[in-house]
Amino acid sequence: MRILLKIIVGLCGIVVLLLLGFVAFSWAPDRTVDELKGRWAPPPSTFIEVAGTQVHMRDEGPREDAIPIVLLHGTSASLHTWDGWVNGVDRVDGLKQSRRVIRLDLPGFGLTGPFPDDDYMIGQYEKFMQAFLDKLGVAHCVLAGNSFGGQVALVTALGRPSRVDRLILVDSAGYPLAPTVVPLGFRIARLPVLNQIARVTLPRRIVEESIRNVYGDPSRVTPELIDRYFELTLREGNRRALAERLKHVLSDAITARIPEVNVPTLILWGGLDRLIAPEAGQRFAKDIAGSQLQIFDALGHLPHEEDPALTLAAVKRFLGLGANSKN
């Protein structure tokens, strides 16, 4: 018995040493907004106060546009995920050349940081979005969202249908998930003990693998892209917020209300999405009357970021903007 006890104590000691070694090797303390602003919030970035939160946002394009396009990113992303759509790429004009485009870091992500009360229920995000649009005086908009941002777009449109004139869902959450691959960072954030360690550690390799897992073509993942996700995850409070948000499962009540969406809706999906499979896109198309579905066979969970030129062309057709090219 004494020998067994010594073995157990010895193994526990080894585990503790390994954990201490991991923490020392991957130590990554929080960074302040001021430390991150220089690289990730140059003009036209600005910050506005909404519901006790300093929201990082960009408002670009012709201000006389009465129905701006509002873009909502997914979990662990930021407003930068829409750069290609907004600014243009591959000689194709971006949305801001002809439309007012508003994008923001949702609370808990990017430079906006956590909700003051740490409440990450989807209803809190719906209230936040209504307050955000009220703050900017936006009575009508085209609302687009990817993944979790798509879910926020859905509840915002359902909460005040007269405000959302058109809806664009990009690999959107909305139905119970059945992923074949879950990014390692998400799995760690859900695990007790490990998610506490993750609040002070962040191996860059984990961030890289998480992004590569959700791209259809991992070769498109660049060092700067990894830098962006890595550094903005370190924004003070974001890692705690991610662990809290992932505690909240999708409500069946939201799924049941999807057929109530009655505005023109475009559904874009990556055919290689292993986090939210293309079958979910097909279900959205079935449940939302009159909606349009386009699947991009070679793209993954972030098709707007992975191939902005290809996906932007579909958005322009939906909005009647044509396919303008830069000379």
Whether residue 196 is predicted with pLDDT greater than 60 in this model: the reply is no
Task: State what percent of residues in the chain have pLDDT above 90.
Answer: 75
pLDDT tens, position by position, 139-188: 999 999 999 999 999 999 999 999 999 999 999 999 987 665 656 555 55
**What's the confidence (pLDDT) of residue 293?**
98
Average pLDDT over residues 293-305: 98
What is the pLDDT confidence band of residue 60, given thresholds at 50, 70 and 90? very high
Give me the domains of the chain, ranges plus CATH numbers.
Answer: 31-319 (3.40.50.1820)
Supply the pTM of this predicted model.
0.87
CA atoms within 13 A on the CB side of 68: 20
Q: What is the pLDDT of residue 24?
A: 44
Buried (b) or exposed (e) across 17-28, using 16+ Cβ within 10 A? eeeeeeeeebeb
Burial class (CB in 10 A: 0-12, 13-18, 19+), 320: exposed
pLDDT tens figures, 9-26: 444 444 333 333 434 445
pLDDT in tens, 198-216: 556 588 999 999 999 999 9
CA angle 50, 241, 166 (to 5 degrees): 55
Instruction: Judge whether residue 46 has pLDDT over 90.
Output: yes
The residue among 184, 183, 178, 121 whose CA lies nearest residue 155 is: 121
